[in-house]
């Protein structure tokens, strides 16, 4: 295992961030969603490095194999953890890819650290711009929804996460849902996090306002979201967020749920590679067609097929 020191906790103990680093080429950093860890990027970690891309993914503090301090689950601290990863590995010309809660880390990093080292950003099923319904954010989600999540975690965390996983992957929505072993695997990942981290991160992504963070982003930006996402509904998130980032593009995956990095893995991998290459990402795409993935050139770099 590889670890990066990201400061210390309140007791002065070092916080270590577990990460993986695969492939060679321009770096892409994957920031996972809640309540999982870097393992949730399995299909991206297996494919993207085959196309001349260096891919780094890490476990958020409190999750996976990273340190599990009592505190530090606010977005300022989480953005500082991301900075520690970029600084320690001395990454340049980075593309940040944030999934769900991880989109908040991308947005806060871009404002808090002035987008240092970053050339592109991608938000997938992201919680941005602001989920909580308030007087100043009437299009948000009612607070009772998030209160119910916190109550469910406290009452029966394994039971809550099992039900959450079904909605996450669109069980009952997709005509070909993920397998029960996939649900079981995701459950096992989620349970590696501490109850404290699980609860505090849920509070953080539900009530953090990222609207000003997004407005300061000046690099090419792509939003990807499923229109069958019941976990972070499209209309409460990406449809609003894309309007706050100048020149940003929104690609909607028809019929896909929150966990589209699994349910639409081939299309997502293809779209990420296309965006990385500087080419436009198309809205309509047949993931099973002949253009499902840029072919690999002899030197390992990605070559578009159109």
Q: Is the alpha carbon torsion for 134, 195, 46, 2 positive or negative?
A: positive
DSSP class of residue 148 equals: H
Active-site position among 37, 125, 258, 271? 258
Catalytic pick from 37, 229, 237, 271?
A: 229
Q: How far apart are the first and last CA of the chain?
A: 39
Task: Look up 258 and say whether it is catalytic.
Answer: yes
* Residue ranges in the chain assigned as alpha helix (H): 42-47, 75-88, 101-112, 143-168, 180-190, 195-207, 211-215, 238-241, 260-263, 265-276
CA atoms of 136 and 305, how far apart (whole Å) = 46
The yes-or-no answer on residue 21 being catalytic is no
CA distance 112 to 207: 18
Q: How far apart are CA 80 and CA 270, in angstroms?
A: 30
Active-site residue (options: 40, 66, 67, 100): 100
229 is annotated as an active-site residue: yes
Q: How many CB atoms lie within 10 A of CB 237?
A: 27
The secondary structure of residue 225, as a DSSP letter, is: E
Q: Please list the active-site residues.
A: 100, 229, 258
């Amino acid at each position: 295992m590889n670890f990066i020191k990201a400061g210390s906790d309140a007791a002065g103990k070092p916080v270590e961030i577990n990460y993986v680093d695969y492939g060679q080429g321009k770096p892409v950093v994957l920031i996972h969603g809640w309540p999982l860890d870097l393992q949730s990027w399995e299909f991206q970690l297996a494919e993207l490095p085959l196309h001349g891309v260096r891919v780094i993914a890490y476990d958020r503090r409190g999750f996976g194999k990273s340190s599990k301090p009592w505190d530090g689950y606010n977005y300022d601290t989480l953005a500082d953890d991301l900075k520690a990863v970029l600084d320690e590995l001395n990454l340049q010309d980075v593309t940040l890819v944030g999934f769900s809660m991880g989109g908040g880390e991308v947005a806060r990093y871009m404002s808090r650290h002035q987008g240092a080292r970053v050339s592109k950003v991608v938000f997938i099923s992201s919680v941005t711009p602001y989920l909580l319904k308030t007087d100043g954010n009437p299009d948000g989600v009612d607070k009772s929804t998030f209160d119910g999540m916190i109550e469910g975690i406290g009452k029966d965390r394994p039971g809550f996460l099992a039900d959450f996983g079904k909605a996450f992957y669109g069980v009952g929505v997709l005509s070909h849902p993920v397998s029960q072993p996939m649900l079981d695997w995701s459950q096992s990942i989620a349970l590696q996090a501490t109850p404290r981290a699980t609860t505090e991160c849920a509070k953080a992504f539900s009530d953090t306002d990222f609207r000003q963070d997004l407005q300061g982003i000046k690099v090419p930006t792509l939003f990807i979201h499923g229109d069958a996402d019941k976990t972070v509904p499209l209309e409460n998130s990406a449809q609003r967020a894309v309007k706050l980032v100048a020149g940003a593009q929104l690609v909607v995956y028809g019929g896909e749920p929150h966990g589209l990095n699994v349910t639409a893995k081939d299309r997502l991998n293809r779209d990420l590679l296309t965006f990385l290459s500087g080419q436009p990402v198309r809205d309509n795409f047949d993931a099973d067609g002949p253009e499902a993935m840029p072919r690999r050139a002899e030197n390992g770099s990605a070559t578009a097929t159109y």
